[in-house]
Amino acid sequence: MDFLVLFLFYLTFLLIGVVLICIITKNQRLKGLVLGGAQVCSCIIPQCLQRAVQRLLHQLFHTRNPTFIILHLLLQGLVYAEYTLEIFGYCQELEFYLPYLLLPYVLLGVNLVFFTLTSSANPGTINKMNESFLLQVYEFDDVMFPGNARCSSCDLRKPARSKHCRVCDWCVHRFDHHCVWVNNCIGAWNTRYFLIYLLTLTAMAATIAILSVAFLVRLVAVSDLYQETYIDDFGHFQSVDTVFLIQYLFLAFPRIIFLLGFVMVLSLLLAGYLCFTLYLAATNQTTNEWCRGDWAWCQHCPLVAQSPSAEPHIYQNIHSHGFWNNLQEIFLPAIPCSEKKKK
């Protein structure tokens, strides 16, 4: 059990690192740095291993498969198993307020509902039936989205803010990104589900982290550990300090301390991504547009600065119509009548 949790912990952060590299390589200068590092590694790593890794990465990130859904549910199951078997029972013995202890289960139920909706809902697939309708939803800016563009794969006119997903092999209206964790694209018609899914996932991790910390603090207070003394390596009596308390708790409750570290790191990562996603929603942008836009603050970064001869160009967002209108557009998207009948 402990080995499996440890393995999944490191695997998760390895996958997060790969995803971050994929995001970084959206920029050409950083992409060059990453490719340069890959060329150096290719001189050391055997060719057979390189091909195996390339096949694995292609299977994980460039084809639709349930690998990350299984990993996602497995991680949730392990976290909640540890919370139920140890933290929940200990907190009941210490007379914690029961609704606080049940809150993670309520969040889990809501999260699973919106996880299912995000992964199964139509993200906004463009076809010949809805092509003419979706062409009228957003205005073409003739910079990032030219009005006469056609998709070479789908042989359809590309509505503004759309993009062909290479993983799903279809064009998506108001394409944001392809999320491997839900095995689906995030587009105009399921962004609302994705936001609530991400919000509840962040709240789940933060709630379990807070309850774990509260349990450890209550345990130290009830047992008066901070008033105890111990004998150091030189045979002298020392008062218990913070470092000793952490070491003692880690030896007494290793799985709880490990779980606490995991959910704390996960909470920070999810909270950062949630803030970024909410910023995009509030300003009516997509991740695809944000990555493709040539922002002013990027031009001052030494790694991505343009040459002096290049003409500076800043992409102007013409689709933002105020905070509340932007949110209304996400939660009440324009849907063709034919799609409404299918639902």
CA dist 247 and 330 (Å) reads 48
Name residue, tokens 């399921």: 190
CA dist 139 and 144 (Å) reads 11
Name residue, tokens 């509840």: 200
Beta bridge partners of 185: 178
On whether the CB atoms of residues 110 and 200 are closer than 8 A, the answer is yes
**Buried residues in 177-208 as b, exposed as e (16+ CB within 10 A):** bbbbbbbbbbbbbbbbbbbbbbbbbbbbbbbb
Q: Coil, strand, or helix at residue 239? A: strand
Beta bridge partners of 186: 177
Phi/psi at 137 (5° precision): -70, -45
Query: What DSSP element (H or E) covers 25?
Result: none
Q: Which pairing describes strands 177-179 and 237-239: parallel, antiparallel, or unpaired?
A: unpaired
CA dist 227 and 245 (Å) reads 11
Range 17-23 contact pairs with CB under 8 angstroms and sequence separation of 24 or more: 18/57, 18/61, 19/180, 22/61, 23/291
The residues annotated as belonging to the active site are: 179
Q: Which pairing describes strands 170-172 and 163-165: parallel, antiparallel, or unpaired?
A: antiparallel
Q: Give the chain's length.
A: 343
CA dist 17 and 11 (Å) reads 10
Strands (E), 189-306: 229-231, 237-239
